[in-house]
Amino acid sequence: MPSTPGQVPSSVVVVGAGLAGAQTSAALRQHGFEGHLTVLGAEGLPPYDRPPLSKELLKRTEPVWLADDLGIDLPALVDDLRLADPATRLEADREQVVVRTASGDDVMADAVVLACGSAPLRPAGWDAAMTLHTAGDAERLRAAAVPGTRIVVVGAGWIGAEVAGVAAGAGAQVTVVEAGPVPLERQLGRHVGGLLAPWYDAAGVTLVTDVAVEKVLPGPAGDTPGGGSVVLADGRVLEADLVLAAVGARPASGWLAGSLPLESNGGLRVNRAGRLTGLHSPTDPAGRLHLDALRRVWAVGDIATREHPVFGPVPGGHWSAALHDPEVTVRALLGLDERAAEPEHVRERLGLAPITSHAPYVFSQQLGHDLALFGVPSPFDEVVLRGTPTASGGWAALYLENALDRHPRRTPEGHRVATVRAVLLVDSPREVGQVRKLMNRGVPLTVDLERALDPTVKLKDAVFRP
């Protein structure tokens, strides 16, 4: 018997057997869901952790299984576990959801949790280039990244920088080609990206910036798979035994087009609890789902653009979101948290307990440095540094909301008060815990800027409390 919206579902299908899918399954059982649980995967492998694929590319020959790392025993939790039967189609209506699988089965359930992550981008015609997203990709890359190999990495983003550093450390000749003027410009802005550029040379990696890759031609027959010629827009040609396209990822939502409203980046817009909102881009023909159908569809992890009380809609791509958000989503799906999507001030007024919201968080180990980014930098932010990048110790960049305020706020001592949208910590492992706490409070972080920029003052002691 299908549940009516608002009732606890008696069957759930989870699409995706990665971190978010595994966490969703574990949370469902942990919170007492006794109904029928189906999990559909695409890789034919039990869930594993992706960040070590680049950071520990050469150190680990086996994936970090989530069964070992988080203790998630999927076969014990799931009634119908299909690790190699991906979903190909979804129909959600007022009565139920139906998920068609690659093997041709229709899985019917009261609710679906979409946890199908993202897929790496590979520009058209770049067939000769590899990408790094799965354990299989890592295995191929590991086999090819031997001393003396010529590797061209396209893209100085998170994954490109991590692989370049690891491969150069192992004796490969690595060149990174970046279309922007500095590494990580899109993620960290031009000023901070420029401070990271010298790391490449110091790690023995050649960095070529400000030039786009026009095409990647396959190498001569018999060459290493993944090898080829990288043709740059200025006419230069870089010969490589291995080309890695590290130019970003996109939600793995192609199979949902026409069934659910998709954002222009391919993501699914969900509310704070992870339930589909039904908002869609103007060009999307879907998005006319009945509210009772929308209520059956939830999304977590990389595929979701999730509403955050401080940062607004946050696109996926954060490991920490895939780790933490399923808990909130499952509690809402099971009706354990009433009105879970409401902002905290409304919940407080209604006498409801607060719901923890985690700030977006990315960590990276690249070219001999540790990075931790909390929050969402915007190109409009004012960037200020705490500490000196040239010194051997750590430093941080604070991204301040550029409010164009004609009457900027001041502390009683006359110091400027600023709202911090993001904090990047570089080689500062001891600060990670306190910054995480500050950014996870679910309210904007305002600081006495003079104190915040003094590295001898703890950031928590620079918080401005009017």
Ligand X SMILES: Cc1cc2nc3c(=O)[nH]c(=O)nc-3n(C[C@H](O)[C@H](O)[C@H](O)COP(=O)(O)OP(=O)(O)OC[C@H]3O[C@@H](n4cnc5c(N)ncnc54)[C@H](O)[C@@H]3O)c2cc1C
| Interacting residues toward ligand X by CB under 6 A | 15-21, 40-43, 50-51, 53-54, 86-87, 115-118, 132-133, 159, 252, 255, 301-302, 317-320, 322, 362-364
Q: How far is the CB of 321 from ligand X (least distance, A)?
A: 7
In angstroms, rounded to a whole number, what is the distance separating the alpha carbons of residues 454 and 461? 11
Residues 6 or more apart whose Cβ sits within 8 Å of residue 109: 9, 11, 12, 13, 36, 38, 96, 97, 99
The residue (of 47 and 219) whose beta carbon lies closer to ligand X is 47
The residue (of 14 and 216) whose beta carbon lies closer to ligand X is 14
The residue (of 117 and 387) whose beta carbon lies closer to ligand X is 117
Chain centroid offset of residue 371 CA: 15
In angstroms, rounded to a whole number, what is the distance separating the alpha carbons of residues 231 and 363? 32
Residues 6 or more apart whose Cβ sits within 8 Å of residue 154: 129, 160, 176, 177, 213, 216, 230, 243, 244, 245, 246, 247
Q: How far is the CB of 51 from ligand X (least distance, A)?
A: 4
What would you report as the CA-atom Rg of the chain, rounded to the nearest whole angstrom?
Answer: 23
Q: Which two tokens stand for residue 207?
A: 């960095």
Q: How far is the CB of 17 from ligand X (least distance, A)?
A: 6
The residue (of 73 and 137) whose beta carbon lies closer to ligand X is 137
Q: How far is the CB of 319 from ligand X (least distance, A)?
A: 3
The residue (of 7 and 103) whose beta carbon lies closer to ligand X is 103
In angstroms, rounded to a whole number, what is the distance separating the alpha carbons of residues 187 and 193? 8
The residue (of 277 and 366) whose beta carbon lies closer to ligand X is 366
Q: How far is the CB of 186 from ligand X (least distance, A)?
A: 15
The residue (of 64 and 211) whose beta carbon lies closer to ligand X is 64
Q: Are strands 242-245 and 150-154 parallel, antiparallel or unpaired?
A: parallel
Task: Write the DSSP assignment of 100-143 as a string of letters.
Answer: EETTS-EEEESEEEE---EEE---TT-TTSB---SHHHHHHHHH
For 151, list phi and psi in degrees, rounded to 5.
-115, 130
The residue (of 119 and 447) whose beta carbon lies closer to ligand X is 119
In angstroms, rounded to a whole number, what is the distance separating the alpha carbons of residues 330 and 117? 17
Q: How far is the CB of 62 from ligand X (least distance, A)?
A: 15
Residue written as token pair 């971190």: 19
Cα of first residue to Cα of last residue in the chain, in angstroms, is 55
Adjacency order of strands within the sheet including 205-208: 205-208, 173-177, 150-154, 242-245
Q: How far is the CB of 320 from ligand X (least distance, A)?
A: 6
The residue (of 229 and 320) whose beta carbon lies closer to ligand X is 320
User: Using an 8 Å Cβ cutoff, are 163 and 287 in contact?
Assistant: no
Q: How far is the CB of 99 from ligand X (least distance, A)?
A: 8
